[in-house]
Amino acid sequence: MKTWFAVVLVGLVFTSCDEDLEFNYPALQAKRNGELWTTLTQEVSNSGTLIITATGNEATITMELPELKTGTYLVGVVGEDEDATATGTFTDETGVTYSTLYNAVDNISTPNIDESVVYYSEGAIEVTDINTTEGYVSGVFWFTAYTNSGENKVDFNEGVFYEVPFVTE
C-alpha cells in the first residue's frame, strides 16, 4: 500500500508542474486575433495627452488618451450619448496600419467605398492605476480596428498593460 501511495504522490508532483508562470513587468500583452501577443518594449509619454506605446515582433500598438487620469476611455464608434475619447492604432509586421479612427457607415460619410461595406471600430481602454511617484501606468484594454479601406481588421481582447513606465525626457 505504501508503494502505491508513493507512486501516486510522485505522479502528482510531476503532473502538477505543467505550467511555468512568468512574471513580466513592465508588460503589455493581449490576444491579437485570438493568439497571445506580447511586447518587448513599452513606454508612456504625457505631453498633453497620455500615449501608451509598445512593440513586439516588429509590430507596434499605440493607445492615445486625452488625459492622465484613471477611468474608462471609449474608442471607435460609440452611442449617440457618448463620444470616443481615445484611439487605438496598430501597425503589424508588414507595415499595415489599423486604427479605431477608420469607420464607414455609408458612402456619403466615407466617399469611394462600396455601399454594402459597413464597418465599425470599437473598444475601450481602462486606466486602473497611475503611480506618478514610481512613474508608471497600469490598466486593461480591448478594441477592434480596421485598415483605412475597411477590408482588414485586427481584434485585441483581454489586453493588459502593467506598470508601463513613463518616458524620461
pLDDT on residue 47: 84
157: cell is: 481582447
The model carries a pTM of: 0.78
pLDDT on residue 148: 87
Q: Please report, as a single letter, which amino acid is at residue 66.
A: P
The predicted-structure confidence for 49-79, as pLDDT tens digits, reads as follows: 899 999 999 999 999 999 999 999 999 877 6
pLDDT bracket for residue 92 (50, 70, 90): very high
Question: How far from each other are the two terminal CA atoms of the chain, in whole angstroms?
Answer: 68
Q: Where are the domains of the chain?
A: 20-165
The predicted-structure confidence for 18-48, as pLDDT tens digits, reads as follows: 444 455 668 999 999 999 999 999 999 988 8
